[in-house]
Structures are given as structure tokens and as C-alpha cells.
Amino acid sequence: MPALRVGVVGASGRMGSETCAAITHDPDLELAVKVTHSDSLDALVEEDAEVAVDFTTPSAVAANVAWCLDRGIHAVVGTTGLSDDDVSELRRKAEASGANAIIAPNFAVGAVLMMRFATEAAPHFDRAEIIERHHENKLDAPSGTAARTAALMSARRPDGWGPTGAEAKSRGEDHRGVRIHSVRVPGSVAHQEVILGARGQTLTIRHDSIDRASFMPGVLLAVKAVAKSPGVTVGLERLLFPGA
């Protein structure tokens, strides 16, 4: 079977560079093209890319993925910043074109497990807060991982969370009843801590990515799965826990 031809959009960035290296070393994949900020997406078509991996910026990702889907190119999306409306529009485009997309706020398997554990714990505690820490150049805050964690946890609490207590400015931003505190400092890669509390007890669930290599198994899993994942799939957990 011929290797799957993959293009990386945002290839000169930190995640893009790591992705290019991972694809190059995978015998089932071929790095068809690297697309940097100065290149045209037309290179994906010119080099017959079957899958495009997007690690660009929140301001560019929606247009990039829509462009790919319109041209029948599957997309794997690691760039955060897509709104619910963006995802709905991409679902429409995927249905019309027959190309698929997998959108994952975090490709680290440990991070996905952290999110799943926190979601399972949510119904059993009164309150939850999230502290997320990333490198100083991360453009969005809170992170996509933190926002999705809050959404997944709150979905397990149809009646909402308990009283939030003090409402000082330093209490973080409210996301569906969960407060998220974002830290951006040099020396960090991607770190998240979920703290749940109930009378007389707390539960802390934490994940740390100390190297971008931690994301690559999830990226490669999505690249190989996207052609068989109809429409738009949100969250790597859909691949790790099918049917869950």
C-alpha cells in the first residue's frame, strides 16, 4: 500500500516542525509538502496531499481548514481558536465535499486521559477550577484544552455547579461554571491541573507535557484515521475511546 501523502500547514512553527519530523520517520506516511506562512495553500493540491495537518494560528485556522475541505483534502487540526460557529460551518463543508476533519484541542494521550478522568469526577464534586500553564508565545488564553475540559465537565452537571464563592478579579475567567486560570511563562510547554472540591475533600488531576514529542502519537493516530472518520470529529477521545 502506498504511503499516505501528508502536507503540514504551519510547518515552520514549533509544532509544525515536530510534526514534519514525526511524519518523515513513519513508514506509513510521506511528507508531501511543507507550507509555511509565506506559502500558498495551493501547494497542497500541487503536491497531491491527501491529508493536511494545521498548526497555524487562531486567526487563520478556520479559513485554512475550509479551504482544504472544499478541495477534498482531509484535515487534522491542532490549532485552537475555532468557535462553535466555525465548527458548524466546517461540518457543512465536510458533508458537501466528502472530506473529513479531526479537530483536537490536545493530541497528548495523557492530556486526553486527564480530561476524561476529570469529566468522570465532575458529577461527584461541588466545584471545579482549572489552572493551565503554557509557554509565553501561546496566542490564546484560556487554552483549547482547558476550555474543552470545562465544557465536558459541565455537560455532566445538567443542574450546574455549586456557588462560586468570592468573585474577585483574580478568580479567573468563568467557562460554563468552571473557573480557568491561565499562566504564560517561559520554560513551559503544556500543563493543566483540574482541582475538584466537595465538603471535606479535594481531588487534583494533573497532566504535564514537557516536550512537544508528547503530542506526536496522537497527531499520527489522527492522520491515519481521518479518512475513515466521516464528517468532523472533535476531540482525540473519539479515536481513543470509540463508542464511549
Question: What residues are annotated to the active site?
Answer: 134, 138
| Closest residue by Cα to residue 36 from 58, 55, 22 | 55
- Please provide residue 111's backbone torsions phi and psi, each rounded to the nearest 5 degrees: -65, -40
Return the exposure string of 39-60: e unless at least 16 CB atoms fall within 10 Å of the residue's CB, then b.
eebebbbebebbbbbbbbbeee
Residue 159 burial (CB count, 10 A):
6
Please provide the DSSP assignment of 43-58 as one string: HHHHTT-SEEEE-S-T
CA angle 124/144/51 to nearest 5° reads: 125
Report which residue type is found at 181: H
